[in-house]
């Protein structure tokens, strides 16, 4: 399914299960760290974000601690998601006619801003947003969805933040998490 704002708002107060495996990352600097993603629902009505080719196809940009991670869309991909966010930044733009999405880690000791400015390629940045900690009252983080199915240009993208209640800080639960808020970022 496509991550439209209306579809994600309809999932508010429901649950999201993220089953994408963490990347194997080493080294320093900006890193291309993406995988194919599928957004759907399971038999119990739980929204699922998993590895694989979706309909339409999507891209998952992995979070890499203290670094800048990015993905460049492949043919046919019309949306992306990344997370967990709790103070990190998301950057969206295009390079060589393809959409890119970057997740810039912002915790103490992060080199993400330096990594991102020193990447080996340039592109047009359409937007850069800080994704705040969604709640200080309980453990939480966000998944950000970027949809360019209406066109790969700054005026046609939709950026939506889905806020999740989690059991601990800094990651996803091993199971469904409550969607407690949905916000249109751009």
pLDDT exceeds cutoff 80 at 174 = yes
Instruction: Give me the residue spans of the domains in the chain.
Output: 5-21+29-184
Q: CA 135: distance to chain centroid? A: 18
- Work out the pLDDT band at 168, boundaries 50, 70, 90: very high
pLDDT exceeds cutoff 90 at 28 = no
pLDDT > 70 in the chain, percent:
99
Residues 147-152, mean pLDDT to the nearest whole number: 96
Cα-flanking dihedrals φ and ψ of residue 39, to 5°? -110, 125
Asked whether 79 and 147 are in contact (CB, 8 A), the reply is: yes
Residues 49-53, mean pLDDT to the nearest whole number: 94
The predicted pLDDT at position 22 comes to: 77
User: Which candidate, 149, 151, 100, places its Cα nearest to that of 121?
Assistant: 100
Residues 25-51, mean pLDDT to the nearest whole number: 92
């Amino acid at each position: 399914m496509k991550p439209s704002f209306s579809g994600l708002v309809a999932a508010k107060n429901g649950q999201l299960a993220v089953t994408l495996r963490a990347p194997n990352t080493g080294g320093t600097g900006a890193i291309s760290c993406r995988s194919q993603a599928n957004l759907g629902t399971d038999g119990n009505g739980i929204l699922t974000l998993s590895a694989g080719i979706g309909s339409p196809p999507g891209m998952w940009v992995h979070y890499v601690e203290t670094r800048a991670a990015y993905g460049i869309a492949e043919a046919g991909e019309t949306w992306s998601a990344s997370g967990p966010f709790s103070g990190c930044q998301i950057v969206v733009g295009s390079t060589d006619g393809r959409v890119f999405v970057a997740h810039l880690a912002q915790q103490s000791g992060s080199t993400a801003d330096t990594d991102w400015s020193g990447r080996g390629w340039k592109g047009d940045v359409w937007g850069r947003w800080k994704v705040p900690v969604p709640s200080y009252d309980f453990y939480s983080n966000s998944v950000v969805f970027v949809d360019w199915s209406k066109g790969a240009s700054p005026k046609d993208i939709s950026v939506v933040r889905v806020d999740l209640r989690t059991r601990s800080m800094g990651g996803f639960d091993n199971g469904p998490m409550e969607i407690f808020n949905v916000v249109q970022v751009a």
